[in-house]
Structure 1
Amino acid sequence: MTDKVSGNDIKPKDEFFREEIKQASDFKFGSKVANVFDDMVNRSVPFYGEMQRMIAELAADHAQEGTNVYDLGCSTGTTLIGMNSMISEGIRFIGVDDSGEMLKKCDEKLQEAGFKRPYDLITADLQTGVKIENASVAVLCLTLQFIRPISREKLLKGIYDGLNSGGVLILVEKILTEESLFNRDFIKYYYDMKRRNNYSEMEISQKREALENVLIPYRTSENIVMLRDAGFSHCEVFFKWYNFTGIIAIKK
């Protein structure tokens, strides 16, 4: 949709949970979510734009000519577009998602952004693993939290094995606090942020119920232990906002 006066694109507004849902069901990344996803994450994830800028900066410092850069759980391609302006066009981008609707939206956005570099969009279920090869950068932006806990270690090990020496994994996650005493406060601040972004109490409540069995967060320390167990020798937090964090891990 385009604003005919200014010529600017208008993103469809996220009203997915605005009406009362009679029978709750698990959250799914189908066509309805894909259509409003960009608005959803911008209003639901704190400092999402800054987070994307930081991912692009980190990726640019570690992307190597002749290698691949992976965005695992690429959704509508926002991270790929952010990295595109900072990384040499000779480096291939590979976006992976299990939602065909998300990948369709992603491809449309990449075309609109004038992508000139080589890229592939692959439909794959990260729960069962995905082949990573000749990679200098892999990104998991708000993705690992949707992978079943039993499958997370296998996925991280596969990423580690597919990274070249010196390659990095950039991980952004919703988290639990290290001290459970603070969990309730941090969640309250998070929902306050959603209210500031014009989500109603019904929307907040219904989305929480839909995500309850789908999004399973870990503590930052638990994520770092998994990264080290997978083989990463250096891990560092680069972003923190209450119950969200960003971690970069390097393969030596």
Structure 2
Amino acid sequence: MQTFIGIAVNKQPDRIFAQPLEQVPDFTFNEDVVRVFPDMIKRSVPGYPTIVENLGVMASQFAQPHSVLYDLGCSLGAVTQALRRHVQIEDCQVIAVDNSSAMVERCSEYLHAQDSMFQELLPVDVIEADILNLDFQPTSLVALNFTLQFIKPEQRLELLTRIRQALMPGGALLLSEKLCFADAEQQQLLTDLHIAFKRANGYSELEIAQKRSAIENVMIPDSLEQHRERLLAAGFSKVIPWFQCLNFASMIALP
């Protein structure tokens, strides 16, 4: 067993790309990925546990009574779990959304396990849906934790605009993303360091190369400046980066 942000889960090592593939398919959040996701994310995203836990801490400062908190692209519910550990507000609910049925099913199981470990947690509703089609309720906190990068670039501004319109005064959007960089030397250095991070976590050169091929047409990163400009265009007043580890970062956007 291993712990996935506070919940004990069956340990399944990520070996999805360990064998040579004649043709590497585009990356999808299918059942194979779901089974190994805790191991995959831990070994692939530097700073991930720090980001997730602090999203919960920050959410406790922005969450308001009589509102919902959104975890958009919730995957296995790590951020939802953090929200429920840290936010203690009356008449407040978490809505966790993902478009992968396999993720939603496993997420619901993990949240049920969290219910048995803690008392007086925020209620949560786990929904299988496309976040582009959501009818947002008034919200004081929205988390997009490594989710926007999987949305088509031309659809990102509209999504962020609708989030901003649903956000209550005093609320916040918490956005975490992999970054790209305009400076070629900086881009190459941080790419190399990220590869070194994955290598140090036990991934082979074959696994690294095949995973890169699988994800390059699916996950399109932006620069920090692109994020800032888009968030301002969506109606946010301030964008405050609070964390960066190599080419992964998290920021707060305020209405």
* TM-score, normalising length: structure 2: 0.92
Which residue in 2 is equivalent to 1:67? 67
**Which residue of the other structure, out of 123, 142, 161, is the alignment partner of 1:118?**
123
Match of 2:30 in 1: 30
SS of equivalent to 2:24: coil
- Structure 1 partner of 2:102: 101
- Structure 1 position 236 matched with structure 2 position 240: yes
Aligned pair count reads 246
Is the contact made by 1:26 and 1:214 (CA closer than 8 Å) also made in structure 2? yes
State the AA in 2 paired with 1:206: Q
Letter in 2 for 1:125: D
Give the C-alpha shift of residue 116 in structure 1: 4.0
1:96-175 equivalences under 5 Å are 96-114=97-115, 116-126=121-131, 128-175=132-179
- Is the 1:129–1:155 Cα contact (8 Å) retained in structure 2? no
One-letter amino acid of the structure 1 residue matched with residue 252 of structure 2:
I
Moved more, 8-17 or 232-241: 8-17
Match of 2:87 in 1: 87
Candidates 192, 217, 229, aligned match of 1:188: 192
Report deviation, 1:38.
Answer: 1.0
Task: Name the residue aligned to 1:78.
Answer: 78
Partner of 2:15: 15
Residues 3-58 of structure 1: per-residue CA shift (max 9 Å, x gap): xxxxx644211111111111111100011111111111011100111111221111
SS at match of 1:157: helix
Q: Which moved more, 1:10-19 or 1:110-119?
A: 110-119
Query: Could you say what secondary structure the match of 1:94 adopts?
Result: strand
* 8 Å contact from structure 1 (residues 173, 244) kept in 2: yes
Moved over 2 A (4+): 8-11
Which segment is superposed worse, 201-210 or 160-169?
A: 160-169
Which residue does 1:49 correspond to in 2?
Answer: 49
Structure 1: distance between partners of 2:228 and 2:59: 19
Q: Would you say the 8 A contact 1:70–1:95 is kept in 2?
A: yes
Structure 1 gaps, min length 5: 3-7
Following TM superposition, by how much is the alpha carbon of 1:89 offset from its aligned partner in structure 2, in angstroms? 5.8
Q: Is the 8 A contact 1:172 1:244 kept in 2?
A: yes
Q: Which amino acid aligns with 1:96?
A: V
What is the alpha-carbon distance in structure 1 between the residues aligned to residue 125 and residue 184 of structure 2?
Answer: 41
Q: Aligned equivalents of 2:100 and 2:89: distance in 1?
A: 26
Change (3 A) 1:116 1:58: closer
Q: TM-score, normalised by structure 1?
A: 0.93
Q: Indicate the RMSD between aligned Cα atoms, in angstroms.
A: 1.6
C-alpha displacement at 1:181, in angstroms?
A: 2.3
For structure 2, the residue ranges without an aligned partner over 5 or more in a row are 3-7
- Match of 2:83, as an amino acid? M
The CA distance in 1 between the partners of 2:135 and 2:29, in whole Å, is: 22
